[in-house]
């Protein structure tokens, strides 16, 4: 949901017209799926990385506007909190040396951003949740200045009609209330985009859902929030709760949350857009002048702005995307399950594992989703979010299995096969999947390192929790800049 917003307050007429336009867009989208040329000849990939800004004391630095002004780079954008930025890497193919191209590009972009952030007395941290955030940082005044965030906040809070409750039970427990959605700004993610053809979209989305739990287990990097050790990937629970528009009564009635894993395997991308329209009332009823029926009738490419805006306010962990690039429409899966960090190399290893495994499963002879229930896939996702790399997951023919054993014995070879189908060079494939292998063999990812570093500071240095978190984050930043993958990081 990246467009600017200024049409407020919304009227009843706005909502009625918007609902009609969304349904009109949905009808046109159905026609396009039946008889339209989508760009799918050479599927491209994309990456989005959400970043945190911290000051010299490892406290959140509310300086994203100043840093962005200095950067003057359209690949960097605001995010929800003033201590957030987002980097959108240029879409590209991953065949051959595509991953090396990503690595060079990301290092250059982040290096330049870091240089300019330092001039604003800030540093960049790649992490799922900034562990030094406290409730005093997560207040409405620290929302980014872009009007769309203010409006989105107002619409979610108004839809709920009461304060947002956070209740996360992990190793420790966090209970608190907030009167805004700014807690969502604590969630900084790594998002993968995979362009797919209409007739294979369902296979790729189903495959992505099936492996979401495994992805989170391997990549967990968010164990702390408000000074408490909660889930290995606390970001999942926080995001689900911080944007929940439902009071308790609607939850009890089974009304679906806007941060949503889903409830079934699909047969078409249309299933997801249709569910979004059928289940979720509009948050931002902003209408465009486009008549999609007329555009389609005249041989043009409808932008479907209302449908795309509505889709952007339903936060599926694997989101369907319709977009137009270089004058051609395309579809893609937006994989949103992972946290940012710890390093560029770790994130690219996560990308290689996802792209390769999704392709191999989507193109497999016997679909994994015909053997795994959707409810088991969802339980895997939440179990892995809680327990991280120590999680056990359900898998066909294996029952409950330790996720590291599943990856080493079954999924890494399949990810390698999928990367071969993409034409990824063998040396790049082996280098990145080797990082995933070593995480499994050492049992170490970002969440494990953070917890061990905090415990070391508390027990070995006599620090209290707040001091230990600040010490850990400063050390995290130092090690992040060495560019060595997290499984090699020392705990000291």
| Residue-level pLDDT at 145 | 86
**Helix, strand counts (H, E) of the chain:** 17, 15
What is the DSSP secondary-structure string of 279-345? Answer: H---SS----S--HHHHHHTT-----HHHHHHHTTSEESEEEEEEEETTEEEEEEEEEEEEP-S-HH
Report CA-CA distances (Å) from 322 to 39, 311, 319. Answer: 11, 9, 10
C-beta of residue 352 within 8 angstroms of C-beta of residue 335: no
Strand segments, DSSP code E, in 340-417 are 392-395, 399-402
Kindly give the parts of the chain with pLDDT less than 50.
1-2
* Non-local CB neighbours of 379 within 8 Å, separated by 6+ positions: 213, 394
- Nearest to 123, CA basis, from 492, 484, 481, 486: 481
End-to-end CA distance of the chain: 41
- Residue pLDDT, tens place only, 157-209: 888 889 999 999 999 999 999 988 999 999 999 999 999 999 999 999 999 99
C-beta of residue 49 within 8 angstroms of C-beta of residue 85: no
- Please give the Cα distance from 85 to 54 (Å, whole number): 12
Q: Map tokens 């979610």 to a residue.
A: 156
Which three-class secondary structure state does DSSP give residue 127? coil
């Amino acid at each position: 949901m990246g467009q600017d917003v200024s049409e407020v307050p919304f009227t009843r007429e706005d909502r009625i017209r918007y609902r009609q336009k969304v349904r009109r867009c949905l009808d046109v989208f159905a026609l396009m799926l039946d008889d339209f040329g989508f760009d799918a000849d050479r599927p491209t990939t994309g990456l989005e990385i959400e970043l945190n800004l911290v000051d010299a004391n490892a406290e959140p630095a509310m300086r994203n506007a100043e840093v962005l002004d200095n950067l003057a780079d359209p690949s960097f954008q605001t995010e929800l909190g003033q201590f957030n930025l987002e980097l959108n890497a240029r879409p590209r193919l991953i065949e051959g040396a595509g991953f090396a191209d990503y690595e060079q590009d990301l290092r250059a972009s982040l290096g330049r951003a870091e240089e300019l952030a330092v001039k604003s007395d800030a540093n960049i941290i790649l992490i799922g949740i900034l562990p030094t955030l406290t409730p005093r940082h997560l207040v409405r005044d620290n929302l980014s200045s872009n009007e769309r965030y203010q409006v989105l906040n107002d619409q979610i809070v108004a839809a709920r009609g009461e304060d947002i409750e956070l209740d996360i039970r992990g190793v420790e427990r966090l209970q608190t209330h907030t009167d805004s959605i700014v807690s969502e700004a604590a969630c900084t993610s790594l998002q993968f985009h995979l362009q797919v053809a209409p007739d294979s979209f369902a296979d790729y989305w189903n495959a992505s859902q099936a492996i979401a739990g495994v992805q989170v287990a391997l990549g967990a990097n968010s164990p702390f929030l408000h000074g408490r050790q909660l889930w290995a990937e606390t970001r999942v629970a926080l995001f689900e709760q911080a944007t929940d528009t439902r009071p308790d009564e609607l939850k009890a009635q089974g009304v679906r949350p806007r941060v949503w894993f889903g409830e079934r395997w699909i047969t078409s991308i249309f299933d997801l857009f249709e569910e979004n329209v059928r289940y979720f009332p509009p948050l931002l009823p902003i209408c465009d002048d486009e008549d999609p029926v007329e555009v389609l009738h005249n041989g043009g490419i409808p932008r479907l702005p209302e449908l795309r805006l509505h889709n952007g306010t339903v936060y599926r962990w694997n989101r369907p995307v319709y977009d137009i690039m270089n004058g051609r429409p395309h579809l893609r899966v937006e994989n949103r399950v992972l946290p940012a960090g710890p390093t560029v190399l770790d994130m690219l290893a996560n990308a290689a594992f996802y792209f390769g495994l999704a392709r191999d499963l989507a193109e497999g002879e016997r679909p994994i989703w015909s053997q795994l229930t959707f409810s088991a896939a969802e339980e895997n996702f939440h179990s892995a979010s809680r327990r991280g790399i120590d999680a056990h997951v359900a898998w066909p023919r294996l029952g409950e299995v330790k996720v590291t054993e599943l990856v080493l014995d079954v999924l890494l070879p399949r990810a390698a096969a999928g990367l071969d189908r993409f034409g990824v060079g063998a040396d790049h494939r082996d280098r990145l999947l080797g990082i995933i292998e070593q995480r499994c063999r050492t049992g170490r990812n970002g969440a494990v390192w953070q917890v061990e570093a905090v415990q070391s500071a508390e027990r070995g240095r006599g620090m209290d929790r707040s001091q230990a978190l600040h010490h850990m984050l400063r050390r995290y930043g130092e090690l992040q800049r060495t560019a060595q993958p997290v499984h090699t990081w020392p705990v000291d």
